[in-house]
């Protein structure tokens, strides 16, 4: 059972619809007890880092999430701000992150003053997987995913880097530390590539 954390942020229904079309069991988890039956956890997120962390704390699921991921070792996938929440902290705010991966979240480089780069980074972009296993198994060509963000995930351990993309400079767009995974892009908005990635996560 794939538990999609529903704490008021993220495209939870779009993710659930994909899993339903794939005929994979899923549920929207709205309280701590819902996580007991989960085999996998998806943590979506949109908006500002501090606001997302605050909403998660208010949901009453934070302690159960820590237990599911850190003690029961259930695979987890953070999406967009949900990925950024896996880090220790973010330049976007002052709240502490979940700290499940040794990383910080930093602002994308806006570029030179005479040729500024548009922020947020929005739209389709190529993704370069560093591994053809796990989340990126079964991709026969360079995958493209939909992005919408102004901050990026900066892992402190190089081995945690799973895929990169480029927006003026290269940045981590997917990470993995053991059973903890994160993607900066939105698989639920990324057509066949996103469907394949979500399917792959369900088999981990």
Catalytic annotation, residues: 80, 186, 188
Q: Would you call 177 helix, strand, or coil by DSSP?
A: strand
Q: What six digits make up the tokens of 146?
A: 């939909």
Q: How far apart (Å, rounded) are the C-alpha atoms in residues 41 and 20?
A: 15
Q: How far apart (Å, rounded) are the C-alpha atoms in residues 181 and 197?
A: 11
Q: What six digits make up the tokens of 141?
A: 């060509």
Q: How far is CA 66 from CA 2, 3, 18, 75, 98, in A?
A: 16, 14, 26, 12, 8
């Amino acid at each position: 059972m794939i538990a999609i954390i529903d704490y008021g942020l993220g495209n939870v229904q779009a993710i659930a619809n994909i899993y339903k079309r794939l005929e994979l069991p899923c549920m929207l988890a709205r309280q701590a007890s819902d996580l007991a039956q989960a085999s996998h956890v998806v943590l979506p997120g949109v908006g500002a880092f501090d606001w997302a962390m605050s909403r998660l704390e208010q949901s009453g699921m934070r302690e159960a999430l820590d237990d599911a991921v850190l003690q029961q070792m259930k695979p987890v996938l953070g999406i967009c701000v949900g990925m950024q929440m896996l880090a220790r902290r973010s330049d976007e705010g002052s709240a502490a992150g979940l700290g499940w991966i040794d990383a910080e979240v930093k602002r994308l480089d806006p570029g030179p003053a005479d040729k500024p780069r548009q922020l947020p980074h929005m739209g389709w972009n190529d993704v370069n997987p560093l591994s053809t296993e796990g989340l990126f198994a079964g991709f026969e060509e360079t995958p493209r995913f939909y992005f919408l963000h102004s901050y990026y995930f900066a892992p402190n351990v190089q081995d945690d880097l799973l895929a990169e993309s480029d927006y003026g400079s290269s940045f981590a767009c997917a990470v993995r530390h053991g059973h903890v995974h994160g993607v900066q892009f939105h698989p639920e908005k990324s057509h066949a590539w996103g469907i394949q990635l979500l399917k792959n996560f369900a088999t981990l």
